[in-house]
Structure formats: structure tokens, C-alpha cells
């Protein structure tokens, strides 16, 4: 069983739309959480960390729900340039090895 699950999509949305992705994780000992963005098989790049209290960076909001073991990413006012694959990444406290989800594909169209 995959430890970090994501809906692969694709999520196909018009410019200006709001879109949300969820990611579930199985290890309740997980302590740090991230969203990475990956463009067209280029290297993954850190988009944002996910804090317990939730955090926002411009149009992007990340939330953590420890009770239900999922994290979410909300993108408001989608831009064409947001088209990418979004990877959910989870670290448990005892390991230096992160677990990656397979990613959710987002396509923003005019």
C-alpha cells in the first residue's frame, strides 16, 4: 500500500478558477509535510511547507489535518503558468527519507 496517496488527475480548470488537491498519508508519526511542483519532467521544486496551523503564500494555501491524516493545497485565481504536477511529500520524524506521492496533474486552460 502506497504510504502517500494523491489523485493523479488531471485537474482541468479555466484561468481564474480555484482548485484544491488533497493528499493522504498513512504514517501517523509523520512530522513534516511539503508540496513540490514539477514541470514537464523537470526537477521537482519546493512550493511550500505545510504547517500545523496552515499557511498561505500568495494564491497558494496549504492545510494539514492530522486527525484525518491528509494535507491539502488550494490554488486561487489559477494562472496558465500553474499548469504542472504537484507532488505531496511527507517525512516521518525518525527518518531522513521523505515519501513522495505520485503527483497530481493540473492543467489550466484559457
Binding site for another protein (CB under 8 A): 32, 34, 41-46, 49, 87, 89, 91, 93, 96-98, 100-103
Say if CB 87 and CB 44 are below 8 A apart.
yes
State the DSSP string of 20-55: EEEEEE--TTEEEEEEEEE-TTS--EEEEEE-TT-E
CB of 12 to another protein, least distance (A): 19
CB of 11 to another protein, least distance (A): 17
CB of 72 to another protein, least distance (A): 19
CB of 42 or CB of 80, closer to another protein: 42
Whole-angstrom CA distances from 13 to 18, 66, 75 are 8, 28, 11
CB of 29 or CB of 97, closer to another protein: 97
- Sort 93 into a burial class: Cβ within 10 Å, 0-12 / 13-18 / 19+: exposed
CB of 1 or CB of 41, closer to another protein: 41
CB of 41 to another protein, least distance (A): 6
Amino acid at each position: 500500500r502506497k504510504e502517500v496517496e494523491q489523485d493523479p488527475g488531471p485537474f482541468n480548470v479555466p484561468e481564474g478558477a480555484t482548485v484544491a488537491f488533497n493528499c493522504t498519508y498513512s504514517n501517523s508519526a509523520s512530522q513534516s509535510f511539503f508540496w513540490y511542483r514539477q514541470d514537464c519532467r523537470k526537477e521537482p521544486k519546493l512550493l511550500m511547507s505545510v504547517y500545523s496551523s496552515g499557511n498561505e503564500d500568495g494564491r497558494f494555501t496549504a492545510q494539514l489535518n492530522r486527525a484525518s491524516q491528509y494535507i491539502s493545497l488550494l490554488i486561487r485565481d489559477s494562472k496558465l503558468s500553474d499548469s504542472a504536477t504537484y507532488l505531496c511529500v511527507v517525512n516521518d520524524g525518525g527518518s531522513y527519507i521523505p515519501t513522495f506521492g505520485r503527483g497530481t496533474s493540473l492543467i489550466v486552460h484559457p
